[in-house]
Structure 1
């Protein structure tokens, strides 16, 4: 028999969680893990082909837009791999070493924050390309793109660094050699960490959505004509907005699941938690291949060749 998982607040960091009810049936546990692993392999295969396509062609390497996109893809691959790994481990072993869990949490929390910030950067690049076309080549250079990517990772690291410092300062040494269910609230147990996490999530939500609303509406206004490129940009913007909405679900998911614990019978919580896990963590990773891999003609031409394992 396998343990039944309730997907609680820690899924913000893309990791699995603690049990309300002690066990899932073997069939239910096996089915859930097969679904998650199959989706992870499929999505990461497609994303891996896109990374290979990007690396092989100068037209993509020299483009800030594709560079931002491929950074998002790599970030999603890391996040999805960690999420799947912890999902399977939580059923198979339930607990892992605290020190290993800390490393996985730090990476997972950072990549979780990277996603909305990267999408905001892609929105700004799209706005500059359409709203300020004469200045696009000056503003959106490859050098500036890599600087932005560095700032994205810096922001994610700075966000979790205080939690790590507090953890080292407040927890006894034996704690780091013990075993825990690998979730954020089980490791970063300080009340300050909880308050800081909520504050940083709210700040991130506000800043990113302000950027998105400003750039998206400006682009939509500029793209209201019948020009084919403008229509394509408009549709891409809508997909970006949908992807951002899905990504943001991971931030409001704890409140949703806490409400479900009060409103819904406990026998349905496992299924509800699993569905919210798929929707908020896996589905957004599936949107990126659709936005560029299937809709972008240039990228599709090369990607389809590699997906089918053709060399010519």
Structure 2
């Protein structure tokens, strides 16, 4: 089998090292750009928009780097998701001879594709908040920030376990029982 020749301890260690190095390179670049800022103007700086890591981008180079990094991350993750989805779809179609099994595999893959796209949308959360901060008041912005956090950060991570839990007959009964019980209890209060 070809999988055992590709996935070795050495290749796994190299992949982990590359991911860590890429993440560390981003942080190191941000620190270097932060050190480039003239700190004699620090007393006059005030946080005007909202409290976020974006507000630490003090210089123009930091802002350009953040935009470039966000675009690069979004595009590269999007390409990886599309290529992975196409590869898995081709493998699932060629492996399955049963139509019902192929349909179930396609639906599962579409679920995971939706989850990955929602996770990918988390890269645009900060640019959205920055754009909203220029036209909305602080209270509305905080509400939007909370909604975005729930729907862009938390929801995609819970989606597949929720769907697989609902698919399982045993868990579905317990889930529906507790959901309906909570709904009935809250309706009467």
Q: TM-score range by the shorter chain?
A: 0.5 to 0.7
Alignment TM-score, normalising by the size of structure 2? 0.63
CA 1:158–1:231: 2 relative to 1, 3 Å? farther
Would you say 1:219 and 2:91 are equivalent positions? no
1:219·1:234 contact (CA, 8 Å) conserved in 2? Answer: no
Partner of 1:170: 37
Q: What CA distance in whole angstroms lies between the structure 2 residues aligned with 1:138 and 1:231?
A: 31
The 1:231–1:290 alpha-carbon spacing in structure 2 relative to 1, beyond 3 Å, is farther
**Mean alpha-carbon deviation: is it higher for 134-143 or for 282-291?**
282-291
Structure 1 runs not aligned, ≥5 long: 1-133, 298-312
2:4 corresponds in structure 1 to 137
8 Å CA contact 2:122–2:152 kept in 1: the answer is yes
CA distance 1:276–1:139, change in 2 (3 Å): same
Structure with the greater relative contact order (CA < 8 A, sep ≥ 6): 1 or 2? 1
Q: 1:278 Cα deviation (Å)?
A: 0.9
Indicate which of 48, 53, 71 corresponds to 1:202: 71
Deviation of the 1:223 alpha carbon: 1.6
Give the alignment's Cα RMSD to 1 decimal. 3.8
- The unaligned stretches of length 5 or more in structure 2 are 169-189
- Separation (CA, whole Å) in 1 of partners of 2:143 and 2:55: 23
| Aligned residue among 263, 268, 274 for 2:146 | 274
TM score, norm. by length of structure 1: 0.41
**What residue is the counterpart of 1:283 in the other structure?**
155
| Residues matched between the structures, number | 159
What pairs with 1:214-253 in structure 2 (closer than 5 Å)? Answer: 214-224=83-93, 225-227=96-98, 234-253=106-125
Equivalent residues of 1:223, 1:230 under 8 A apart: yes
Residues 288 and 153 of structure 1, relative CA distance in 2, 3 Å threshold: farther
2:22 matched to which residue of 1? 155
> 1:203 deviation in Å?
1.4
Q: Give the match's secondary structure for 1:244.
A: helix
